[in-house]
Amino acid sequence: MYQLRKKPTQVCPCGYFNHPEKECSCSPVMVQRYLNKISGPLLDLIDLHVEVTPVPFSELSSARMSENSTDVRDRVIRAREIQTKRFEGHAGVYANAQMGSKLLKDICVINTIGQTLLKTAMDRLNLSARAYDRILKVSRTIADLAASEDIKPEHLAEAIQYRSLDREGWGG
Ligand SMILES: [Zn+2]
């Protein structure tokens, strides 16, 4: 899994694009030009695109009902076990991200609803063949984390969402 940036995201020259409180002073053209610096082929190499906006301190410190990290950890370990088992006998492959095209075709089988969903996303978001493969692999991982044998449309939908940087006018 690749990380786009270690520091908080800056997607425009002034740095306030999509900030919850502060106003961005850049024109749409400036934002687009800034985003275009990240090239498509580079974005294709990144599994997950997630836009992160600043969170106020009060929200960070308030007790919120969410899955605790121990549970998340267990879920990740289980998903890893599923993948280890899946790739038994495939030398050098131990995680979904490492699947070649042949394995991908055998393992990432999606139903008709899923196929329609993915085709629509490909057309609307103008996705590359590489992005298509990434979506399938990430959706398989999301399904593994949910302990689901099949890749369901909701898993695909979540994976498509992680291609947000492929979208025109990112963040809009
Ligand atoms: Zn700005």
Ligand 1 center–CA 12 separation, angstroms: 5
Q: What global pTM score does this model have?
A: 0.74
Q: Which helix (H) or strand (E) holds 79?
A: helix 69-86
Regions of the chain short of the pLDDT cut 70: 1-10, 39, 61-65, 166-172
Q: Which of 135, 149, 1, 18 is nearest to 85 (CA)?
A: 149
Ligand 1 center–CA 20 separation, angstroms: 13
Ligand 1 center–CA 33 separation, angstroms: 12
Ligand 1 center–CA 169 separation, angstroms: 13
Torsion of CA 155, 158, 164, 168, to 10 degrees: 80
Ligand 1 center–CA 172 separation, angstroms: 13
Q: How many CA atoms lie within 13 A of 91 on its CB side?
A: 0
Residue 52, pLDDT score: 74
pLDDT in tens, 142-167: 999 999 999 999 999 999 988 877 65
Around ion ligand 1, which residues have CB less than 5 A away? 12, 14, 17, 24, 26
Distances in Å between the Cα of 39 and the Cα atoms of 11, 106, 128, 165 are: 14, 30, 12, 10
